[in-house]
């Protein structure tokens, strides 16, 4: 089975802290994505990557950065967390050989 | 940014009833996907539709892609409590799988 694993399910961070959200996939997928999901707003794309060391901005990249040093790992970084970044963050991956996008279970981040 | 309108936002029905969820856009999709998400979990893919006019069935779920590839519907026959969840449509407008999601339909099926 394809597995997309997000390292932290629940985090509580203070305003101004640097936050790392890690995502690992085991299917050798080229494409990886970070979304955030908020009530009434649905899923919104933050960043995506179609190859190692490559990254592209999504619809809401402000306040975030990403890192893709290895094919299987895509990290989302909040340089200085703010309360409006409290949300559920979803990582996803997709391989060019198929048309199925697989999601991780999500990381609930609360910034206080 | 492309927009996907999904309706209704909430649906509360009794077991055994039928329902339809709609997903519309003013732009053409290269493909459209339907997901189901349970509380505390990530979305799980139900189906992908690619061809205009395409109809796909998954047990009691019927998915239809509009002829012009700008809209889609999900019909559930004889809903069961196990169908409860958030249903999301997602369109790929670019062909590069950067999906744009609708806001979702929260379905509650009561016994």
pLDDT tens, residue by residue, A80-108: 999 999 999 999 998 766 667 889 999 99
pLDDT tens, residue by residue, B28-37: 888 889 999 9
Mean pLDDT, residues B7-20: 96
Buried b (16+ CB within 10 A) or exposed e, A61-90: eeebebbbeebbbbbbebeebeeebbbbbb
pLDDT tens, residue by residue, B50-101: 889 999 999 999 999 999 999 999 999 999 999 999 999 998 866 666 788 8
pLDDT tens, residue by residue, A54-71: 999 998 999 999 999 999
| 3-class secondary structure, A58 | coil
A residues 38-57 near B, CB within 8 Å? 40-45, 48, 50, 56
CB spacing of B45 vs A43 below 8 angstroms:
no
Confidence of residue A3 (pLDDT cuts 50, 70, 90): confident
CB spacing of A101 vs B42 below 8 angstroms:
no
The answer, yes or no, to whether residue B1 has pLDDT greater than 60, is no
Q: Cβ of A90 under 8 Å from any chain B Cβ?
A: yes
Cα(B64)–Cα(B89) distance, integer angstroms? 12
CB spacing of B97 vs A101 below 8 angstroms:
yes
Determine which of A101, A105, A108 to mutate to test the interface with B (most B C-beta atoms within 10 Å).
A101
Q: The tokens of B106 are what?
A: 């929260």
Smallest CA–CA distance, residue A104 to chain B, in Å, is: 6
Chain A residues with beta carbon closer than 8 angstroms to that of B1: 59
Percent above pLDDT 70 for chain A:
95
pLDDT tens, residue by residue, A11-45: 999 999 999 999 999 989 989 999 999 988 889 99
């Amino acid at each position: 089975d394809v597995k997309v694993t997000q390292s932290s399910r629940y985090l509580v961070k203070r305003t101004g802290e640097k936050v790392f959200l890690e995502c690992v996939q085991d299917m050798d997928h080229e494409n990886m994505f970070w979304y955030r999901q908020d009530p009434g707003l649905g899923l919104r794309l933050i960043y995506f990557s179609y190859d190692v060391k490559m990254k592209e901005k999504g619809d809401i990249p402000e306040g975030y950065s990403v890192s893709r040093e290895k094919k299987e790992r895509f990290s989302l970084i909040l340089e200085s967390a703010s309360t409006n970044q409290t949300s559920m963050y979803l990582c996803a991956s997709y391989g060019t050989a198929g048309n199925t996008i697989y999601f991780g279970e999500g990381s609930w981040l609360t910034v206080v | 940014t492309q927009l996907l309108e999904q309706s209704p936002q909430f649906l509360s029905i009794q077991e055994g009833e039928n329902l339809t969820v709609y997903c519309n856009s003013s732009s053409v999709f290269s493909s459209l996907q339907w997901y189901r998400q349970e509380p505390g979990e990530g979305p799980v893919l139900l189906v992908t539709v690619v061809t205009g006019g395409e109809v796909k069935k998954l047990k009691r779920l019927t998915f239809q892609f509009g002829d012009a590839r700008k809209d889609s519907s999900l019909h559930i026959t004889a809903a069961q409590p196990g169908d409860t969840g958030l249903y999301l449509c997602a369109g790929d407008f670019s062909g590069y799988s950067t999906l744009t999601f609708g806001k979702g339909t929260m379905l509650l099926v009561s016994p």
